[in-house]
A = this chain, B = another copy of it.
């Protein structure tokens, strides 16, 4: 079976995506508007900042990043997206993509024509509710990220970033103790607002503390509890 042909009805991540709580007949309507595209290759661009919004995207496999460009043309990464996550929700407000989106890996993606999704949401209360919930959760996640960046040290930020990725994989029934980092350390540093050198040194430190192992791009979390604690409350000031 061609993976491009998987339908919402049988998609393994449908419970994280828009079909949550829809009746079978409703899922079918949703499925009918979904376009499943050829896999995007690493570094392929899905959309560009300023283009007018045509589709909302959901990740089925692989990983995407979104970013803007600053005055000097440097990437400013604004998010990473793993399977089940929805990309471009910030474009709805004024109908224009507000960032670039690029595949970090070969990635399968579902494209939902926004106008069709919107009118379906008008007919299906469950879909409307789910869309609003997904957006509400994104606002919540953004506020959590805000607190992380604003109040925590570099080592807490990196620890929390790894734990956050791990949790997102766990919810998706992917391995949460050992996984491949889909992004480079340069990307992590950019996203977390720190220097690459700092990221490298902190990974070394986390390893020395026996919290995790990093080999090439493969992360193994050795002590989930301690890593969590380290990320949250290693800031003792007595």
Contact = CB atoms under 8 A, between A and B. Distances in A.
Given A125-B122, A128-B121, A133-B93, A68 B147 contact: yes
A139 B193 contact: no
Interface stretch (A70-78, A173-181, A196-204, A216-224): A70-78
Contact of A146 (B94, B135, B138, B142): B142
A98 interface: yes
B139 A90 contact: yes
Interface of chain A, main secondary structure = helix
Given A131-B132, A146-B78, A93 B125 contact: no
Contacts of A121: 128, 132
Contacts of A139: 89-90, 135, 138-139, 142
A137 interface: yes
Nearest to A139: B90
Given A89-B136, A132-B132, 12 more contacts: A71-B233, A89-B135, A89-B139, A90-B139, A90-B143, A93-B140, A98-B143, A122-B125, A138-B139, A139-B142, A146-B146, A150-B193
